[in-house]
Amino acid sequence: MKLTTCMLVFVAAAGLGAVARGGEEASAPSSITVASYYFANYHPGDARNTKMKGEGWCEWELVKAAKPRFPGHQQPKVPLWGYVDESDPKVMAKKIAAAADHGIGASIFDWYYYDDGPFLNNCLDRGYLKAPNNQRVKFGLMWANHDWTDIQPARRVGKHPLLFPGKVTPESFDRICDHVIRDYFLQPSYWRIDGRPYFSFYDLSKLLSNFGSVEATRAALDKFRAKARAAGLPGLHLNAVVWGRTILPGEQKVADPEKLVHDLGFDSVTSYVWIHHAALPKQQTDYDEMRDRYFEYWTKAEAMFGVPYFPNVTMGWDSSPRACQEDEFGNFGYPFTNTIGGNTPERFRKALEMTKQRLLARKNGPRILNINCWNEWTEGSYLEPDTVNGLKYLEAVRDVFGACK
């Protein structure tokens, strides 16, 4: 299947460093696809947010309210484009153009669906899918099947009420499968790997809890694949997000991820953010230190899983905007956590260059990396321009990987 996303083909020959762009196979050894996660909580009018937080609320309110919490802490972050409504097709068209112009070939939406239906879907359904240029950047889904707790903002002391459980019934999972096949996978702009739609699972422990056993979970995934084939698709590319450290309240690690990935028949493994694999020992932990410790995990992951591992490049980490600004700040548990410091555009670019070099050294494809994140403003990891650095993080992606058509 020929992709129209940004596929960067590096020609290796004596004295040659030419870069060609075009419709190469996703699994071609010479191509690299750059994807970026997208967190869709920056639009007013979501029914759940309105009920919980009031008319017009979205996560921009936390961005605006953030304050410096320790010496050298740069808050609040101010978006250069303003506090825009991502469910507006015109706004999303601008984002798509900027992403493509700076080398992002696919957006992986953090996609939410609970027993009682979808959450935060208006950005994708109203914004992206109605943007006239959406085929410039393919879109994929990562089912963010984690518990949604009341942490926006979170108090330091006390429990965070569980609002929407990540565990769903098998009947709900069937509805989810039918929904994504019918409404997303058949879209011409949906991201495919070797012709098969990419669909990722964030929380493997929650996935297992839906069905009660590994065997029942495998049967459900096999049924998902069969549904896709019945719809005329050549199957699915099912991806597992695997992490060794928990972040959000209620997260649990799976006991044997290597065996589980094999037993459930996943096609690939990836990561969401560096701090899932390396602790933050200091209030401002050095960016390069985190990069190097993540790269150590990447080496292990490539040898561990027996399926392709898609590496991650993280722009930063600072979840303090989600913490109640009147409470003492420290490393007390999410969102009161230590941060990543020194994550300059230049250091981010170096991490991208190192990642590209390792991917090009692979003998076989597919060569895919993902970036955290296009717009995790309340976790301090975003490519969208702010008033301090402008477009420098996006320019770093473009300088390393080139622009898309």
Q: Is the peptide bond before 373 cis (omega within 30 degrees of 0)?
A: yes
Cα 285 from Cα 373, distance rounded (Å): 19
* 310: enclosing H helix or E strand: strand 309-310
Mean pLDDT of the chain: 93
Q: What is the pLDDT of residues 323-356, one digit of tens each?
A: 999 999 999 999 999 999 999 999 999 999 999 9
Sort strands 7-10 and 31-39 into parallel, antiparallel or unpaired: antiparallel
Of residues 282 and 159, the one with the higher pLDDT is 282
- What is the model's pLDDT at position 30? 53
- What is the model's pLDDT at position 23? 32
Share of the chain above pLDDT 90, in %: 90
DSSP 278: S
Place of tokens 């953010």: 273
Contact between 43 and 127 (Cβ < 8 Å): yes
Share of the chain above pLDDT 70, in %: 93
Give 2's pLDDT tier (boundaries 50, 70, 90).
very low
Name the token pair of 146: 């984690």
Sign (positive or negative) of CA dihedral 73, 289, 154, 158? negative
Of residues 365 and 391, the one with the higher pLDDT is 391
- What is the model's pLDDT at position 185? 98
- What is the model's pLDDT at position 6? 58
Q: What is the pLDDT of residues 211-220, one digit of tens each?
A: 999 999 999 9
Cα 46 from Cα 57, distance rounded (Å): 8
Q: What is the pLDDT of residues 135-148, one digit of tens each?
A: 999 999 999 999 99
Of residues 217 and 20, the one with the higher pLDDT is 217
Mean pLDDT for 48-55 is: 97
Q: Which residues contact 215 (CB under 8 A, 6 or more apart)?
A: none
- What is the model's pLDDT at position 250? 87
- Compute how many other C-beta atoms are within 10 angstroms of the C-beta atom of residue 379: 26
Domain formed by 34-401, architecture: Alpha-Beta Barrel (3.20)
DSSP 384: S
Q: What is the pLDDT of residues 193-204, one digit of tens each?
A: 999 999 999 999
The amino acid at residue 73 is H
Q: What is the pLDDT of residues 55-109, one digit of tens each?
A: 999 999 999 999 999 999 999 999 999 999 999 999 999 999 999 999 999 999 9
Give 31's pLDDT tier (boundaries 50, 70, 90).
confident
Q: Looking at 173-252, which runs of residues are DSSP E strands?
A: 192-193, 196-201, 237-241
DSSP string, 91-147: HHHHHHHHHHHTT--EEEEEEEEETTEEES-HIIIIIITTSTTGGGSEEEEEE--S-
